[in-house]
Structures are given as C-alpha cells and as structure tokens.
Amino acid sequence: MPSDLPRPFDEWRRKAEENVQEWGWQSKPTLLLAATEELGELTQAYLESRDEGGDRARIQDELDDLGALLIQLHWHVAGVPEEVDVRV
C-alpha cells in the first residue's frame, strides 16, 4: 500500500465541503446520479489517456470529483445532520 494514501482523502473532503457550500445538502439520489456521471467521465479520461494520448492528469481530476461525491454520500449514510458544518 502506498504510504501517501490519506492525501487524496484530504483533497476529496475539501472538494466535498466546497460542493456543499455551492450546492447545499444534495439528496442521496442526486449524489448517486452525479457519482455515476463522474464515474463515466473517469472511465472516459482513462480510456482516452490509454488509447488516444489524452491528458493523464484528467484521470486524477475526475477521480477527485468522484471521491468528493462519495464522501458527501457517506455523510448522508453516516447520518450527519444538515445543520452541522462539515468543515473540520
């Protein structure tokens, strides 16, 4: 396992906090749909990088977007109330 594993989670949490500030507390169905879209974009970025010489940095960008949405979904599942400021 890479020793820098927590680094992406810090970025994903930061992006999740920004998402909540911009869009408010989105519903579980909305988050699931958005995560599905981001997974498609991540897959596209990977395939374009692998097969068409696409920008490999886009893979990480799409992964960060997906990770943030998954953290937001986790907050719902964990029962974090909407009134709580999610920033630490």
Mean pLDDT value of segment 58-80: 94
Q: What is the pLDDT of residue 80?
A: 79
Residue 64 near residue 15 (C-beta atoms within 8 A): yes
CB atoms within 10 A of CB 15: 18
Mean pLDDT of 71-78: 93
Residue 1: band (very low, low, confident or very high) from pLDDT cuts 50, 70, 90: very low
- Spatial contact of 31 and 75, defined as CB atoms under 8 Å apart: no
Average pLDDT, the chain: 89
Express each pLDDT in 14-49 by its tens digit: 999 999 999 999 999 999 999 999 999 999 999 999
Letter for the amino acid at 82? E
Q: What is the CA radius of gyration of the chain?
A: 14
Closest CA to 40 of 65, 57, 20: 65
Q: Any idea where the domains of the chain sit in the sequence? A: 29-78
